[in-house]
Structure 1
């Protein structure tokens, strides 16, 4: 990493030192960012940029799908929602319709917000257990 690029160094270190829960949160945040950017791209008639941003959002959802442990019951409930989000992203891309993207954004934001709470509770539990030792 170069001293001339402190932000990239920070990002690299943040990813390399993040827990799996924090990495998942980063994926959700990235997906939200790309969906919002694609919506702006549609509004501004930047079709190529919209396509690029939506492909990135789709890849994130696909990565989240691949990492699900299908032996865990909740994963069987989450997978159809990820499939729906992916479908909405594809439809929004093909039809240049932000309504599909808004629907996907709503679900990804809910997942992200829930995941934030999971991380917060896990930290509180770890802290409480550490304080009792």
Structure 2
């Protein structure tokens, strides 16, 4: 019981005191985790569970899309928005068709987005 409460306190503090960049990385880590859980659920033929995790993953990318300032981001912002749109569409396709192969196609893109932002964070902190 104590360990669970300690972990929850740690988790809450991690989110409450994280910088914007750290929150972004937490979201992206979550998107990878949720996409993989959706894949597992599809393999297990658990439609309800796969739907839940696919929607969670999509919601993260919708949030990323709404927070992207395309006007000030220039060409890379437009390219990033196109990638986010592609990911959301393929997640939707996977959900509608209950197709693991679509997830196998899109999960590497989700991981690349996470890794890209992770590298950008390291560079911004002078750690790269």
- The TM-score normalised by the length of structure 1 is 0.87
Tell me how large the CA RMSD over aligned residues is: 1.6
> Do structure 1's residue 104 and structure 2's residue 106 form an aligned pair?
yes
1:128 is matched with which residue?
none
2:18 is matched with which residue?
18
Count of equivalent residues: 124
* 5+ long unaligned stretches in structure 2: none
2:84 is matched with which residue?
82
Q: Please point out which of 113, 121, 124 is paired with 2:123.
A: 121
Q: Highest CA radius of gyration, 1 or 2?
A: 1
Displaced runs of 4+ in structure 1, greater than 3 A? none
1:60 is matched with which residue?
60
Q: Structure 2: how far apart are the matches of 1:38 and 1:75?
A: 28
Q: Structure 2: how far apart are the matches of 1:119 and 1:45?
A: 38
Q: Structure 2: how far apart are the matches of 1:34 and 1:4?
A: 22
2:39 is matched with which residue?
39
